[in-house]
Amino acid sequence: MAEDKLPTGKIERASKFLKTGLKVGLNYAKHYTKKAFTDVSDEELEKQNAKELFESFASLKGSALKVAQMLSQDSMNLSHNFTEQFQKAQYSVPPMSAPMAIQAFKKSVGESPEKVFDKFNPNAVAAASLGQVHEAWKNGKKLAVKIQYPGVADSIKSDLKLMRPIAKQVLKVSSEELEPYMNELETKLLEETNYTNEVKNSLEFKDACKELENIVFPNYYPELCTDRVIVMDWLEGVHMKEFLAQNPTQEQKNQVAQNIWNFYEFQFHKIHKINADPHPGNFLFRPDNTVGVIDFGCTKEFAGKVYEDYFGLANYELYNDKIKLRKVFFDLEILRPSDSEERIQELMDLFSTLSKMIAKPYQYKTFFFGDQEFLEEVNQISKIAASIGEIRGKKDFLFVNRTFFGIFSLMKELNATIVTQCKYLPFLKYD
């Protein structure tokens, strides 16, 4: 159902965050009171808090809902109860009403959509965390018009400030540990709400990836775009949920999965800049098995020493040299000078297992992402990582790990078997 009013003012949004924080705190109090007298699991508490948080974030939209969308792919720092609930942010987002959308467009562009386009559909055909998409036609072409929700960009700093106490409770970390990641998140969200920047990113990626086969980008119309409105060609295709509902053959699923894998391999290793938002809503699966990519708001440069150290962990021989591995973990800020020797050994064991698990597909010419042993390994290691009560690693990992887990999730949904032999990392040897 379309919404006629969104909380855009700082006081209004602060009130909503406060109510959410109080609900989460009250849930903790109720749970531990109940636990004192009966045998009740912590899972019940997590499920309730996850539900409360998603409902609140969905009503706030903007940065709050974007965080939920991101967290739905972060099984390393968040339990499955939260990731499962937050997955709704990928599809189940109510749009703003037609009058609100027209008003937002006019405020940004200076004219009503009816004057800019030959025809405009005032009802959204898709809604996401930061904006929604409308159909339009101009000079015989069908276009997609993305309109940002009112007040989203202006509320990011205040929203994230209000979210910090909630994030501390949910992630079970200290303010000191949380701060670098929240700062990185704030920087990226501010970039993502600047649609002028997104169009620039889109054109750069389109040009850089022109040699890739089976990946399709829309044309953009910068003269019709603003910092709050994007106009691009309408790409035919369906999102993954609809694609799977069509009962495609496994060969078709493998083909689209291979296209997405190749796209990310090229980004990571060739241009060293990634589209760091690989959730299903950003891909269109087309009848000819090509894949359309339609959102470049969140990008991340990943180059130099941090890139070399991170992907150096895909070299399994490194794990036989504990001195060298220890240095790499310190350089990547997985280990800290303040850690005791006992803690260092614990973390080296955990992150060695985690790193080798992420790099496992690289060890084979082809890899089956539906392999139950691999999926169980991912699940178990993610649970352990989420339970340590600390966030470890450089702030870059916030988006890089999210990208990898997002890709793995897509591959799993497609039950894909694809070629994972990597031509960019010379230390990887294949028979």
Q: 262-291, pLDDT tens digit by residue?
A: 999 999 999 999 998 888 889 999 999 999
Which of 6-15, 150-159, 229-238 is the most confident on average?
A: 229-238
Contact present, 131 and 149 (Cβ < 8 Å): yes
User: 145-155 burial, b for 16+ CB within 10 Å, e for fewer?
Assistant: bbbbbbbbbeb
pLDDT at 70: 58
Please report the pLDDT score of residue 36 as a whole number.
38
Average pLDDT, the chain: 83
Residue 172 — pLDDT band, cuts 50, 70, 90?
Answer: low
The strand pair at 291-293 and 215-216 is best described as parallel
pLDDT band at 69 (very low <50, low <70, confident <90, very high): low
Minimum mean pLDDT among 90-99, 163-172, 173-182, 385-394: which range? Answer: 163-172
Once rounded to an integer, what is the mean pLDDT over residues 13-28? 46
Strand bridging mode 417-419 / 291-293: unpaired
Distance CA 302, CA 394 (A): 12
Q: Work out the pLDDT band at 58, boundaries 50, 70, 90.
A: low
d(CA 20, CA 319): 44
pLDDT at 183: 85
> Cα torsion for 200, 202, 207, 208, to the nearest 10°?
100
| Stretch 191-197: mean pLDDT | 92
**Residue 141, SS3 per DSSP:** strand
- Over residues 400-416, the pLDDT tens digits come to 988 988 899 899 999 99
Could you give the angle at the alpha carbon of 81 between the alpha carbons of 79 and 87, nearest 5°? 100
Give Cβ neighbours of residue 407 (< 8 Å, ≥ 6 apart): 260, 261, 264, 278
CA angle in degrees (0–180, nearest 5) for 205-209-211: 160
pLDDT value at residue 266: 97
* pLDDT beyond 50 at 37: no
The CB density around residue 240, as the number of other CB atoms within 10 Å, is 22
pLDDT tops 60 at residue 23: no
State how far the Cα of 410 lies from the Cα of 5, in Å rounded to an integer.
34
HSE-up (13 A, CA, CB side) for residue 179: 3
Confidence (pLDDT) at 371 = 93
Q: Where are the alpha helices (DSSP H) in 144-174?
A: 152-171
Contact 310, 318 (CB under 8 A): no
Instruction: Copy the structure tokens of residue 195.
Output: 């649609």
* CB 369, CB 322: distance < 8 Å: no
Round to whole Å and give the CA distance between 349 and 362: 20
pLDDT tops 50 at residue 34: no
pLDDT at 174: 75
End-to-end CA distance of the chain: 55
Tell the residue number behind the tokens 């050994």, with chain if given: 345
369: left (phi over 0), alpha (psi -120 to 50) or beta: alpha
Task: Residue 320: count other Cβ atoms within 10 Å of its Cβ.
Answer: 8
Lowest-confidence region among 38-42, 67-71, 131-135, 172-176:
38-42
Q: What is the pTM of this model?
A: 0.80
Q: Is 289 helix (H, G, I), strand (E, B) or coil?
A: coil
What pLDDT is stored for residue 274 in this prediction? 95
The residue among 321 and 189 whose pLDDT is bigger is 321
Q: Residue 292: pLDDT above 60?
A: yes
Give the separation between CA 28 and CA 404, rounded to whole angstroms. Answer: 32
The rounded distance, in Å, linking the Cα atoms of 211 and 402 is 26
- Looking at residue 62, its pLDDT comes to 54
- Locate the domains of the chain by residue range: 236-431
